[in-house]
Amino acid sequence: MATVQAIHVAPQKGAPLESVEAVEAVAGEGLQGDRYLGVGGKRQLTIVSTEELDEAAEEWGQPIPPGATRRNVTISGMRLPRKAGAKLRLGAVVVEVDQDCAPCGLMENCVGEGAKQALVERAGVRARILEGGTISVGDPVVRLG
């Protein structure tokens, strides 16, 4: 069974990520305490999977811990759907994948030199929050339809 492994938020742009045990997801808005709350659009929530991070780490030659890629939610137990419109339930929260999160130059600073290339198609997805609620570490993750 897929589960939420880690949750991270950053209160301001460029601020260090804070690891939290639970976060309130606001439909159409974002995560409480995160820099993108209220911005709307494509940056409401980002998700990455440990399976993809492990693949990238194997290629890169070093471990990539949850939070290093600055994604909000790290899940384990499934590969992420990358097709726009795919839906996931994270605990009580329903999200819809908007697009792949292509790794940017920031990956070289946050993760390490050479990590950007290893993270291509493994750096997570951006999603919109369709149904709000609380996401907690340990919550089940289910692909919907």
Structural domain total, the chain: 1
- Domain with 72 in it: 2-144
User: Strand, coil or helix: what is 103?
Assistant: coil
Single pTM value for the model: 0.93
pLDDT, tens digit, for every residue of 23-79?
Answer: 999 999 999 999 989 886 768 999 999 999 999 999 899 998 888 888 999 999 999
Q: How far apart are CA 72 and CA 31, in angstroms?
A: 9
Please state, in angstroms and as integers, the Cα–Cα distance from residue 124 to each residue in 46, 71, 79, following that order: 7, 7, 10
Q: Which domain CATH number covers 54? A: 2.40.33.20
> What pLDDT shows up at residue 129?
96
106-110: Cβ within 8 A, 24+ apart: 106/70, 107/69, 110/68, 110/69, 110/70
